Amino acid sequence: MTAAIAGVGYTEFSKASGRSVLDLARAACEAAVADAGLPLGAVDGIVGFSLMHDSVPSQAVATVLALPQLRLGLDVELGGQAPCHLVGLAASMVETGQADHVLVYRAMNGRSGARVGTMQFAGLGAQYRYPIGYDAYLMYVAMWARRFLLETGQDDDDLGAVAVAQRQYATTNERAYRRAPLTLEQYRAEPYVVEPFRASDCTVEVDGACAVLVTSLDRARDLRQPPAVVAASVYRAGPRPGLDIGDHLLWDDYTRNYTSLLADELFGRAGLEPTDVHVAEIYDCFSSTVLIGLEGLGLCERGTSGAFVRSGATALDGRLPTNTHGGLLAEGYLHGMNTVAEAVLQVQGRGGDRQAPRHDVAVVTSGALMDGSALLLTAG
Amino acid sequence: MTEPTPPEPDQDSASFWTALAEHRLVLERCTACGRHRAAPVPACPWCASTGTEQVESPGDGRVYSWVTVHRSFGAPFADQVPYTIALIDLTEGARVLGRLEAGTSPVHAGLAVSARFFDHPSWTELRFAPAPEAS
Ligand SMILES: [Zn+2]
């Protein structure tokens, strides 16, 4: 049996939702089920993720959705690595008949409440970071970005190209938090936050929630929206992934993240090649992860990702429309759940003003550094 | 100046912090494969051997990467920006984090540095400065 995504649901993305995280989770999940055209009671699985208890458990969501039963309830303490991974786990449960309709969600008052960007992650590695002022996740990604740019012969302007290209998409996305156009000149004029990152290299934190509904392809074909087939799903942590989410000290090569390690298996499982991809939605808590991801997945040659973006290849009329919602940089930080949802909309042909002309195969990634996950979604 | 929250050593890491307080950088060396590591852990992350010896390091290394913090994210560091945190590959092969002492500029990959010990009221921080022979 093959699994597919049959619906997506969002709340508004804002700087102050005025609602509880549970209410956000409930609303996004309800919207995803309605999008698929299912009754709420058909849902028998809920999977979510959080960092430092910034979300609500699947059990609570099942309660306020008044579900008759859960056959799968899973809450994981993970960050941006999670969305594709959890969709893959949900798909496996569906494929083996252990659950029929599984919601995967992320909910957070990520702007007005607990903010991931400045959160101090408890963990065995914390003692080596926070006391010395190495105390925000963007510093770790910036550390990788610096080495990546140096070693691949790229520079700040290559980061800026990502921010500029993605902002262009956001101008036509009413859900996006940052919608004003951005030029490279404006980008260069921004002060550094943590060098080499400027504000536009960083995701914008928001309050909100996003959910997708995973079911079987057979069932999805009878539902309201065209199915987005889960053609392949892979999670990968490389060797020595560290003591916790912020510990990268034992990683060897900061120019390659998990995308380099999972690409062969991802494409192999789907019987596809990188050249078959029509749309890419690359996890982008920071601009550099788009460049590293494009190279790691083999979507462009090593050392050419910045030039690839600057050439217009990732724009709507380019060879590989990428981060068509504006990415986490512009749409907002729903921790990559919205990256998956955007890929679903694209594959379904529901992208509206930002719909990629060719959209039979989309690649999605989740995560930035040592570990992460990816999906290949195909038109059903 | 607000003092940062001190590190909270655990059973594995206590020896690292105790040595720093004595202005010594002590690494763990795997007796099976010979690799060094800075943050102490119960077994070798390369070969899983629990055979470990502690070795004192002269603290010499080279910059692998670095970030310069222009906007502070915690009160203790607000009056210290801009400051630079670097990843240092020690001569022994272990990779460690440390602040580069003020005035270390310009920084470049491969810059030769050596360890410095910066005392806080209740703990000692490992920092780095350009090695005397650095070019
Ligand atoms: Zn060993």
Ligand 1 centroid–CA B29 distance in Å is 8
Which of A192, A220, A248 marks a domain boundary? A220
Q: What percent of chain A has pLDDT over 70?
A: 100
Across the interface, whether the CB atoms of A249 and B7 are under 8 A apart is answered no
Residues pairing with A198 in the sheet:
A192
Ligand 1 centroid–CA A263 distance in Å is 28
Beta-carbon count within 10 A of A68 CB: 10
Residue type for position A269: R
For residue B45, give the chain A residue with the closest CA: A240
The CATH number given to whatever domain includes residue A43 is: 3.40.47.10
Residue A163 located in a structural domain: yes
Residue A121 located in a structural domain: no
Across the interface, whether the CB atoms of B65 and A129 are under 8 A apart is answered no
Residue B106 located in a structural domain: yes
Query: Does A247 lie in the same domain as A212?
Result: no
Residue B61 located in a structural domain: yes
Output the pLDDT for position B1.
63
DSSP A200-238: GGBPPB-EEEEEEEEEEHHHHTTSSS--EEEEEEEEEE-
CA distances from A320 to A205, A256, A364 (A): 27, 21, 13
- Residue among A125, A135, A249 minimizing CB distance to B73: A135
CA distances from A328 to A134, A142, A271, A353, B38 (A): 23, 16, 29, 18, 34
Query: Does A185 lie in the same domain as A45?
Result: no
Query: Does A149 lie in the same domain as A293?
Result: yes
Residues pairing with A109 in the sheet:
A207
Chain B residues near residue A240 by CB distance under 8 angstroms = 45-46
Query: Does A323 lie in the same domain as A274?
Result: yes
For chain A, list the strands marked E by DSSP.
3-10, 45-50, 72-77, 102-109, 192-195, 197-198, 207-216, 228-237, 279-281, 361-366, 371-379
Output the pLDDT for position A121.
87
Residues, beta carbon < 5 Å, ion ligand 1: B 30, 32-33, 44, 46-47, 49
- Residue among B38, B73, B95 minimizing CB distance to A136: B73
Query: Does A82 lie in the same domain as A30?
Result: yes
Residue B1 located in a structural domain: no
Query: Does A169 lie in the same domain as A83?
Result: no
* Residue A333 appears among annotated catalytic residues: yes
Mutating which of A135, A205, A286 best tests the B interface, going by the most B Cβ atoms within 10 A?
A135
pLDDT > 60? residue A274? yes
Chain B residues near residue A196 by CB distance under 8 angstroms = 67
Residue B65 located in a structural domain: yes
Ligand 1 centroid–CA A240 distance in Å is 12
Q: What percent of chain A has pLDDT over 90?
A: 97
The band of B134, judged by pLDDT with boundaries at 50, 70 and 90, is very low
Ligand 1 centroid–CA A92 distance in Å is 36
- Residue among A128, A194, A239 minimizing CB distance to B69: A194
Task: Write the pLDDT tens digit of every residue in A335-366.
Answer: 999 999 999 999 999 999 999 999 999 999 99
Give how many domains chain B has, as a whole number: 1
Domain carrying residue A336: 137-200+229-379
The band of B135, judged by pLDDT with boundaries at 50, 70 and 90, is very low
Domain carrying residue B105: 14-134
Which of A158, A189, A220 marks a domain boundary? A220
Across the interface, whether the CB atoms of A118 and B13 are under 8 A apart is answered no
The band of A1, judged by pLDDT with boundaries at 50, 70 and 90, is confident
CB A368 within 8 A of CB A289: yes
Query: Does A60 lie in the same domain as A173?
Result: no
Ligand 1 centroid–CA B47 distance in Å is 4
Residue B59 located in a structural domain: yes
Task: Write the pLDDT tens digit of every residue in A183-234.
Answer: 999 999 999 999 999 999 999 999 999 999 999 999 999 999 999 999 999 9
- Residue among A150, A191, A249 minimizing CB distance to B109: A150
Mutating which of A118, A119, A132 best tests the B interface, going by the most B Cβ atoms within 10 A?
A132
Residue A167 located in a structural domain: yes
Task: Write the pLDDT tens digit of every residue in A94-111.
Answer: 999 999 999 999 999 999
pTM above 0.90, yes or no: yes
Ligand 1 centroid–CA B93 distance in Å is 13
pLDDT > 80? residue A90? yes
Q: In what order do the strands lie in the sheet with B36-37?
A: B36-37, B25-30, B52-57
Ligand 1 centroid–CA A141 distance in Å is 28
Average pLDDT of chain A is 97
Query: Does A189 lie in the same domain as A216?
Result: no
Residue A44 located in a structural domain: yes
Q: Which of A140, A177, A235, A333 is catalytic?
A: A333
Beta-carbon count within 10 A of A317 CB: 9
Query: Does A195 lie in the same domain as A213?
Result: no
Q: Cα angle vertex A274, ends A271, A275, to 5°?
A: 105
Q: Can you tell me the mean pLDDT for B93-111? A: 93
* Residue A134 appears among annotated catalytic residues: no
A-B contacts at Cβ under 8 angstroms: 100
Residue B4 located in a structural domain: no
The CATH number given to whatever domain includes residue B117 is: 2.40.50.840
Give how many domains chain A has, as a whole number: 2
Residue A374 located in a structural domain: yes
Q: Can you tell me the mean pLDDT for B36-49? A: 98
Output the pLDDT for position B133.
67
For residue A240, give the chain B residue with the closest CA: B45
Q: Please tell me the distance from the alpha carbon of residue B72 to that of residue A347, in angstroms, as a whole number.
A: 41
Query: Does A323 lie in the same domain as A305?
Result: yes
Across the interface, whether the CB atoms of B68 and A194 are under 8 A apart is answered yes
Query: Does A271 lie in the same domain as A179?
Result: yes
Please check whether residue B76 touches A, CB under 8 A. yes
Mutating which of A134, A140, A147, A240 best tests the B interface, going by the most B Cβ atoms within 10 A?
A134
Across the interface, whether the CB atoms of B65 and A250 are under 8 A apart is answered no
Task: Write the pLDDT tens digit of every residue in A42-69.
Answer: 999 999 999 989 999 999 999 999 999 9
CB A81 within 8 A of CB A367: yes
Residue B99 located in a structural domain: yes
pLDDT > 80? residue B79? yes
Query: Does A370 lie in the same domain as A320?
Result: yes
The band of A120, judged by pLDDT with boundaries at 50, 70 and 90, is confident
Across the interface, whether the CB atoms of A130 and B37 are under 8 A apart is answered no
Residue A122 located in a structural domain: no
Q: Can you tell me the mean pLDDT for A286-315? A: 98
For residue A198, give the chain B residue with the closest CA: B70
Backbone angles phi, psi at B105, to 5 degrees: -155, 140
Task: Write the pLDDT tens digit of every residue in A127-167.
Answer: 999 999 999 999 999 999 999 999 999 999 999 999 999 99
